[in-house]
Structure 1
Amino acid sequence: MEQFLNKLLEKNRAKCQFGSVADYIPGLDKADRNHLGLCIMKTDGTVQRVGDYDVKFTIQSVSKPLTLMLAILDNGVDHVFSKVGMEPTGDAFNSIKKLETHDTHKPFNPMINAGAIATTALIKGRDAQDKFRRVLEFFRKICENDTLEIDEDIYRGEKETGNKNRAMGYFMKGEGYIDGDVEDALDVYFKQCSILVTAEDLARVALFLARGGVLSNGERVVSEYVAKIAKTLMVTCGMYDGSGEFALMVGVPSKSGVGGGICSVVPGRMGIGIYGPSLDKKGNSIGGYSLLKDLSKELSLSIF
């Protein structure tokens, strides 16, 4: 199996030259665009790791399904979805357009920046510091990795350049979709995106969802229904405005981030974590996407 995976990985590493690393957040441009790593964790305990699976990178938007689950634990499903919708936008992940032009002005889903900011704003805590402490503890629990920390340089870069996110936050505050302090919500959001992970960490998140919300020690953290919500939104919205094509070509619940990560869930079977910082025009790992297409075809992974 390892030889097979290595062959697929090296085939798809060549695709990385056709993308580029994100550079709109200071620090992300330091990534090596030729990096490509894969970790597969099966529900029977089998683990396979190839390529640059142990390179650390910031989780970015792959954080969004996790904060969604924590917000639901804190507030319940109905309240969360009174503040954020469930529909794909067809727009770029950082677009502000539909916030203003749609009748309700409600963010469309928790997997785009506007919806993720509204979701993060729902996480409970005394202040921004306490809220992020809870976020980090939750991420460490799901990743089963107590060493997770943020990249301080990336966090500062996120905060310094996050004016579009700031505009979305204040717009949603004005429309009643953010109840607390906007700057507190943004600070937690910038920090959650700056948490350092590896492809192996993302595989463990995916395995957690593949098990329906259960850790490797058997502990249930979220209900099957909450895990199902996260997986469903990953299918419909998780790969930005390329989610429909991805569902057709790969066919598994997945969430990407501009740090190069992809977290892919094969329900009941396995979790897949990928790192490949060379991105396509929609912000998805170009080598990782291609690798997942090959894996889906060769291993019959599609849920459809």
Structure 2
Amino acid sequence: MAGPGGAADPAHSASGGTPDDRRTDAGSGDGDGDGQNKPRSFWKELPILVVIALVLALLIKTFLAQAFSIPSDSMQNTLQQGDRVLVDKLTPWFGSEPERGEVVVFHDPSDWLRGEPTPEPNAVQKVLSFIGLMPSAQEKDLIKRVIGVGGDTVECNGTGPLMVNGKALNEPYVYPGNTPCSQDDMGGQFKVQVPKGFLWVMGDHRQNSRDSRYNQDDKYHGMVPVKDVVGRAIVKAWPINRWGTLPIPDTFDQPGLNDQKSPAAASLTVAPQGAAIAAVLPVVLWRRRGRVLAEPVERTTSGRS
């Protein structure tokens, strides 16, 4: 209906509705209209989320942290069979090297695990172990405590105490009933000088640990190359009732321990680990689930592990 001036009534449209009616009609259709963004189906997004999760898991395992299981008694009572420990793999990328007193995971340096059976995984197990979602049957890693670093003199006489650079260690972490040194003719009595780029390692269960003492006939004379260290075990993550950190014992901070460190003990030098990969750092903040599935650390060998 036109007004006196011939203009249309502003309250009505040609279809007889109001402007508000038109807005309502435009947004009420079931079909795809211009400018309408339908949310993507959950089932279409799921494969993308799975791929992202797997990539992040692989990055975390490779560069940041990895969980390992403890299948032997060689580190009792610090670590028990069935414990899961988280290993820091990031700091070595910045040039950090193991220190005395740290508990470290390292690759078998010279067939310390000889004679141990290694099961053959199937194709699916190989894929899952590669991305860190299940234990690897092929990796042969061990876990011990660092006693001496490059330049140190480490010595055991009688039942102990264990001496580093002439200083006696107070070792409350040694398994109850064990002596710091073992009185046997297989390697329990020794005096060694650690070359630069190497470590002397021992288990906390001194009378049940196949460690540096009992591998002195290998090509490294029982030493562990720093380049073979996977990382430092920093947390007992599982089971929950055994959760706790793995700090360096106070005895390794005693005054004078570095005073007698020999600069002449240098034979093999380990190359730098390389530059840090800064791109993976945000993953630490993003990742909400802290526990990584465990991988094997150590297998018992000939009564010692």
Q: Same fold (TM over 0.5)?
A: no
Indicate the structure with greater helix content.
Answer: 1
Q: TM-score, normalised by structure 1?
A: 0.27
TM-score of the aligned structures, taking structure 2 as reference length:
0.27
- Report the structure number with the largest CA radius of gyration: 2
Q: Which has the higher strand share?
A: 2
